[in-house]
Amino acid sequence: LHTNVRKNHSHCGKREVNIDQEGKSIASLEVEVMMAKDLPKMDWYSGKCDPYVILSLSPPAACMDTSDKRTKVKPRERSPVWNQSFIFKPIEFKKADLVLNVMDAENFGNDDFMGKIVIPLPTMANQQWIEKWYPLTDPEKKTEAKQLSGSVLARGQRNEEGIGFRRRLAVRGF
């Protein structure tokens, strides 16, 4: 059995859905990272930060393209605007999570981690007009508070001929 449904609307983007021989839902996912707001001061000398976002799928086996996607660094910006789109394809929607790591670029040494968002794609696949803010978290944090003050907005729409999604992600707060 092989079915290919492709829907393209300017208001909801596109997601291609294929059903392989084993009945798994295979798709392409388009993600747009839009902006961040009020990020923390990471550089003591300027009171700013140099943020970027790393996008990946977990587990990596859920996608044939296992390379991470990454926005451009926005130097000295606490409220950056990226408006960058990325495509993951093909992915197995029923097993994948979209992971966004918000980072602060450093000229010397390792980049600093600012927050993480994990969006379970199976929970989004069969809903109508999804518009939900996802909180930024710090899963490695040693304190009891694992949630940071930030969130991501994801939107999508199911249509009759398939599921059309465009994830509009806006990283807010801290």
Q: What CATH number has the domain bearing residue 44?
A: 2.60.40.150
Q: Distance between CA 73 and CA 71 in Å, rounded?
A: 7
Please, which pLDDT band fits residue 110 given cuts at 50, 70 and 90? very high
More confident of the two residues 12 and 32: 32
Model confidence, pTM: 0.70
Share of the chain above pLDDT 70, in %: 53
**pLDDT above 70 for 124:** no
Burial of 5 (0-12, 13-18, 19+ CB in 10 A): middle
The 10 Å Cβ neighbour count of residue 70 is: 16
Q: What is the pLDDT of residues 133-147, one digit of tens each?
A: 666 777 777 434 455
**pLDDT above 70 for 99:** yes
**pLDDT above 60 for 73:** yes
Q: Distance between CA 161 and CA 3 in Å, rounded?
A: 11
Give the sign of the dihedral formed by CA 142, CA 147, CA 152, CA 153: positive
The 10 Å Cβ neighbour count of residue 4 is: 10
Q: For residue 154, what are the domain limits?
A: 3-172
Per the structure, how many domains does the chain have? 1
